[in-house]
Every structure is written in C-alpha cells, then in structure tokens.
Structure 1
Amino acid sequence: MQRKNARGREEHDVQALLYELYATPPPAFVSRREELAVAARTDGRAEDARLIHAARRPTLAAYAANLLLRSDPAESRRFLELGQALRDAYGTLDADGIKELSGQRGRIVSALSRQAAALARDAGHPLSDTARQDVAATLHAVLADQDAADRWAAGCLTGALTPPAAFPSTDAKATGTRRRPAPAPTGRKAAQKAVQRTAQQAARKRTEDELAERRRRRQEQLARARSAAEAADRLLRERHRAQEDADAVLDRAHDRHDRARERVSAAEEQLREANEELQAAEGAQWEAEESGRAAADAVAEAERAAHGAAREVERLDTRVR
C-alpha cells in the first residue's frame, strides 16, 4: 500500500497490513511479516516498518480466533452486539435469568469454537484440545469484557484471551459486590427478552448455517461420487474396447501361427525328401567315382601294355633288317 499525505490515511494503511498479516498461518507469519516490513522500509515508511516488524506471531488458538472474525463479518458483528447486550443486561437480571443466559452463552460459544476449529483445519492447521479450549476462553472473554471484545474486533490477536472469573455487572459497586436493582419487572423482562431474542437469532442463524454447510458438503460429496462413477464407467468401457481389440489381435496371431506351422511342416517334409535324395545322389556319386577310378586304372594299364608291345615290335623289326 502506498503512503499518503494524510496521517490518518497512513495509519489506516499500516492497520490494514497488520490485519492482513494476522490472517497468515503461524508457521508462515514471520516470513510474511519480514516481507511486509521490507516493503514498507523500501517505500520510505520507516515507522510502518517498525510497527510491522514489532508484530508478535499469534498462537494457533489466536490465529483460529482471527480467522473466525474474518469468516463472516456480519455474524461476528452480531456476536459482539450480543456481548454488549449481555453485559448491559446482567445488572438487571435475577438469578434465573442469569442462569438461562449463561446456558445460551455456552451454546453459542461452543458452536463458534467448532467453527473456528473447522476453519483452522481447512486451512491445514488443526487445533489441539488445548488450543480449542483457548479459543472457547477467548470467545467467553469477548462476551464478558469490553476490552477483550475490542481486541478481538481488531483482528490481530496474538494469544488467547482470559475471561473474568464472573460475568461483569453494570450495577456493581466499587467493592465488587452486586447491588440489588430496584423493582422494575417490566424493564427486567424486556431486557431479558431482548437478550434472549438476540441469542435465539444467533443460535438459529448458526443452526441454519450448519445445516446449509452440511447440505453443501453432502452435495459436493454426491457430485464427487457421481463424477467418480462416470469416470469409472468410462474407464470400464475403455477397458472393454481394449480387451476386444486385444482378443482380435490374438485371434489374428493364432491364425498366423497356424499358417506358419503348416508351412514349417511342409518345409520339414521337403527337407526330409531332399535329404534322402541327397544321400542317394551322394551314394551314386561315390559309386561313379569308384568306377571312374577303376576305368582310369584299366586305361593306364592298357596304355602301358600298348607301349610295351610297340617297343617289342620296334625291336624285332630292327633285327629283321
């Protein structure tokens, strides 16, 4: 946020930054605080940077209470108004009226405490039992004490608030003892009824909101279930188509295998016959080679005999001459 000339505007800016900061979950609070402080210092807003840097990290319970304030501004305003009405009315109510209002306070605080815990859980930071008790104590303090109400309304709680030991009375003396009011049954009943109406309206609004939230969650669950069912159905159809395609490929592979097997069988038969023919040809070739060798030997022997006869003729012819 930019720095303005008017001092009131500057204060508003830094308060807005702090309000934003205290909506940050505690684990990320310090880093976000330093980012805002550095930005303010860079803009020349040294005082703003000092105020931001001095901000204390909230406890988890204080963080949940800050979230609750922001979650529904109109409801938070009604809760603050209820606290004011209760503090004003306690001084004029009798014991029975106080007992009734105490029960109403308990129900309202319990409902809002559950809401704060749900907000923290949805933000990824579930509350422990101790933190839940601290949130409830803070809300009781907001109803019972004006200073606590102002601190919660500012939205920058750093820790849980502690309620007073007893609900305050606007009719108490300085010694702390309560002064019995003058008889005014009409005014007392009117105040009681006004507070009761306010409490009943808040409780009714809470119930309606809880019912609406449950309906919304059920509708979301139903929508998610329907979406999941449709996705599963689509996946099943895809799986069926894939299986049919695979079966068709398998059938074609079986046919191809059978044809190949037939060709292999025929080739094996041809190979067997060819081997038999080869063996027969090799036997005939061997016999022919043997006959050829015998004939060659006979020719050689005949040639030798012929040469010998020729030489003998030659020799005899010479003598005759």
Structure 2
Amino acid sequence: MNARKSREKQERDVEAVLDELYTTPPPGFVARRETLVAAAKTAGQADGARRIHAARRPTLAAWAANLLLRSQPEESRQFLELGQALREAYDALDADGLKELSAQRRRVVAALSRQAAQVAREAGHQLSEPAQQDLEATLRAVLADPDAAEQWAGGRLTSGLTPPSECRAGTAPPAKRPGSRSRPAAAPSRARASNDELAERRRARQEQLDRAQEAAEAAEQRLREERARRADVDAELRRARERTEEARRLMSAAEERMRQTRQEYRQAESDRQEAEERSRSAAEAFARAEREARKKAQDLRRLTAGTP
C-alpha cells in the first residue's frame, strides 16, 4: 500500500513538473527541462526523469495557449463549454442560432487571443504577427474540434492547432442543392411521429443554444471584468512606479546632501585640527615669552639693588 501511494505521489509530482515546464517561455525551456531532469534523478525518480526529458519545446504560439489555460482557468473553462455548445448547435443545423453564436465566437476568440498576447508580454515575450495568427487558429480549432479542445485542455501543446476545413463550428449549415427532389409525403401516423421528433429536436437544440448563449455571455462578462481589473492593476502599478521614482529622486538628493555634509565635516575637522595646532604653538610661545619676561625683571631688580 505504501509503495503504491509512493508511486502515485511521484506520478502527481511529475505531472505538476510537466505542467510547470510547459508554461516556461520557449527560449528557457530546454535549460529548465534539464534542471528538472537532474532534480528528478537526484530524487531517485528515474521514470519521471525520462518523461520530463521527453518533453518537447513548444512554439511561441503553443506556449502562449498553454499559459492562457493555466493563468485564466475560469475563462478557459467557459471557452471549452462554448466550443461544445457550438459543435452541438452545428449538429442541429440551426442556421439562425449558428449565425448568432458565430459572431460571439469571433468576439471571444479575438478577446482571448488579445488576453493571451498580454499574458505573454507580461511573461517577457512579445508575440509576432505569425505567432498571433497561429494562436488565433489554435483557439478556433478548440471551438471547432473536440480533439483539439482535449489537447488544449491538457495544457501541453507543442505546436499550434489547425481548425478542421469542414464542418467548423460557427459556419452556416449546407444549403439545399437546387434541383433536389422532395421525398413523398409520409403517412399521417409517421408524420405525427416525425413532428414529435422534430419538436423534441427543436427543444433540445434550443436548450443547447441557450447554454451556449449563457456560456458566451459569461465568458464576455468575465473578460470585461478581467480587462477592468487589469486596468486597475496597471494604474496602481503606474502610481507605484511614480512613487518609486520620486523616492529614488529624494534619496539621490539626500545622498548628495549627505556627501556634501561629509565633505564639509571633513573640512571643518581639518580646520579644527589646524586651529588646535596653532593654539598649542601660540600657548607655548606665550609661556616662553612669560618666562623670559620674568627672568629679565629679576635681572633688573638685582642690578637696581646693587647700585650705590
């Protein structure tokens, strides 16, 4: 039991390491991977070290998509739900609903793409125009293709995803070809059954569209809230930078005043020492003069006393 728990813990640790590795910017991916491989070997996790070493460096667009998934989990979950609803709506062939959801799809893809680019910039890497296009194609693929959605949800893309060329979510259903023949009218009982089935399909389709609508609106609302929050954070960061710059300016001025004060102190100290030296010299000269004056006075008194 303990051995099994130990293996499960090691497996969780390796999974966490891989999740962290795939959010490492591509230029530092290999160096970080080798560091993690060495750490796994030191911990006695040979299998984990092999799995980590097998990880391939992602492209810049794939890295940005992985980073978006990890840094914005709620928006990513709603985006995956929207993709599922779009695919279900396409299967139902509801042209009006698809038209509305397609517009929402374009808005959400554009908004998430911008958000991913912002997250990438904050991580120190500007997405080029080709990388931005690959990122948008990846997000469109996630909406259109369940396999692509599953790959992105894993958070370990190594390259961008390509939307399927046919039956993409958000495209209009195929129109009826001209000249096609209508089927003969069904018997009344079959017609009623068909009507009931059609009504049930319409009800289920409407529920799917409602869920998709709610998911898209929630995603857009979340994006608006995050945009507003980011604006507040950016404003606070700007104010903090201004305060830091002002404090740096004041500190530089204080350091300059301190430097000048030290210089003045050293000069004053030098002047004091010179004045003390002159004072000692003057005191010694005064003492010699005083002794000489006393001696001369004594000599004068002796001479005066001996005069007849």
TM-score (norm 2): 0.67
In the alignment, the residues of structure 1 paired with residue 45 and residue 39 of structure 2 have an alpha-carbon distance, to the nearest angstrom, of 9
Q: Distance in 2 between matches of 1:36 and 1:241?
A: 49
1:67 aligns with 2:84: no
Give the one of 211, 217, 230 matched to 2:228: 211
2:219 to 175, 195, 202: 202
Residues 93, 192 of structure 1: 8 Å contact kept: no
Q: Give the whole-Å Cα distance in 2 for the aligned partners of 1:95 and 1:207.
A: 28
Q: Supply the AA of the counterpart residue of 1:141.
A: A
Q: CA deviation at 1:187?
A: 3.6
Work out the number of aligned pairs and report it: 239
Separation in structure 1 between the aligned mates of residue 112 and residue 214 of structure 2, nearest angstrom: 18
1:68-107, Cα deviation, whole Å (9 max, x unpaired): 0111222222222222222222222421221211111111
Q: Paired residue for 1:43?
A: 43
AA matched with 1:167: R
Which stretch of structure 1 is more off in the superposition, 35-44 or 53-62? 35-44
In structure 2, the partner of 1:250 is none
Which residue in 1 is equivalent to 2:90?
90
Instruction: Evaluate the alpha carbon distance shift between residue 168 and residue 44 of structure 1 in structure 2; reply closer, same or farther with a 3 A threshold.
Output: same
1:168 Cα deviation (Å)? 5.5
What is the CA deviation profile of residues 116-144 of structure 1, one whole-angstrom value per residue up to 9, with x for unaligned ones? 11111111111100001111111111111
Q: Which residue of 1 aligns with 2:14?
A: 14
Q: Which residue type is aligned with residue 48 of structure 2?
A: D
* 1:82-231 to 2 correspondences below 5 Å: 82-165=82-165, 166-167=167-168, 182-183=198-199, 184-226=201-243, 228-229=245-246
DSSP-derived class of the 2:55 partner: coil
Runs of 4+ in 1 over 6 A off after TM superposition: 233-243
- Name which one, 1 or 2, has greater alpha-carbon Rg: 1
SS in 1 for 2:162: coil
Q: Secondary structure at the match of 1:99?
A: helix
Alpha-carbon distance between aligned partners in 2 of 1:240 and 1:10, rounded to the nearest angstrom: 59
1:25-66: CA deviation from partner (whole Å, max 9, x where unpaired):
111111111122223233333222221111111111111111
Q: Contact between 1:4 and 1:10, CA under 8 Å: does it hold in 2?
A: no
Asked whether the equivalents of residues 83 and 142 of structure 1 are also in contact (C-alpha less than 8 Å), the reply is yes
Give the number of the structure with larger relative contact order, counting CA–CA contacts within 8 Å between residues 6 or more apart. Answer: 2
Which blocks of at least 5 consecutive residues in structure 1 are unaligned?
173-180, 247-321
TM-score, with structure 1 as normaliser? 0.64
Change beyond 3 A, Cα 1:83–1:220 = same
Identify if the C-alpha distance between structure 1 residues 34 and 236 changes in structure 2 by more than 3 Å, giving closer, same or farther: closer
Describe the superposition over 1:125-184 as per-residue Cα deviations: whole angstroms up to 9, x where unpaired.
111000011111111111111221111111111110111123259xx9xxxxxxxx9354
Question: Which whole-Å deviations, capped at 9, do the CAs of 1:270-320 have from their partners, x for residues lacking one?
Answer: xxxxxxxxxxxxxxxxxxxxxxxxxxxxxxxxxxxxxxxxxxxxxxxxxxx
CA contact (8 A) 2:120 2:127 kept: yes
Question: 1:216 offset after TM fit, Å?
Answer: 2.2
CA distance in 1, matches of 2:8, 2:249: 60
RMSD between superposed Cα atoms in Å? 3.4
Distance in structure 1 (CA, Å) of the matches to 2:122 and 2:249: 28
Note if contact 1:89-1:192 (Cα within 8 Å) is conserved in structure 2.
yes
Name the structure 2 match of 1:24: 24
Cα gap change, 1:55 to 1:227, in 2 (>3 Å)? closer
* TM-aligned CA deviation for residue 191 of structure 1: 2.5
* Cα distance change on mapping 1:4 and 1:145 into 2, 3 Å: farther
Change (3 A) 1:4 1:114: farther
Unmatched runs of 5 consecutive residues or more in structure 2: 174-196, 264-308
- C-alpha deviation, 1:234, in angstroms: 7.8
SS at structure 2 position matched to 1:200: helix
Give the 3 Å change call, closer, same or farther, for CA 20–238 of structure 1 in structure 2: closer
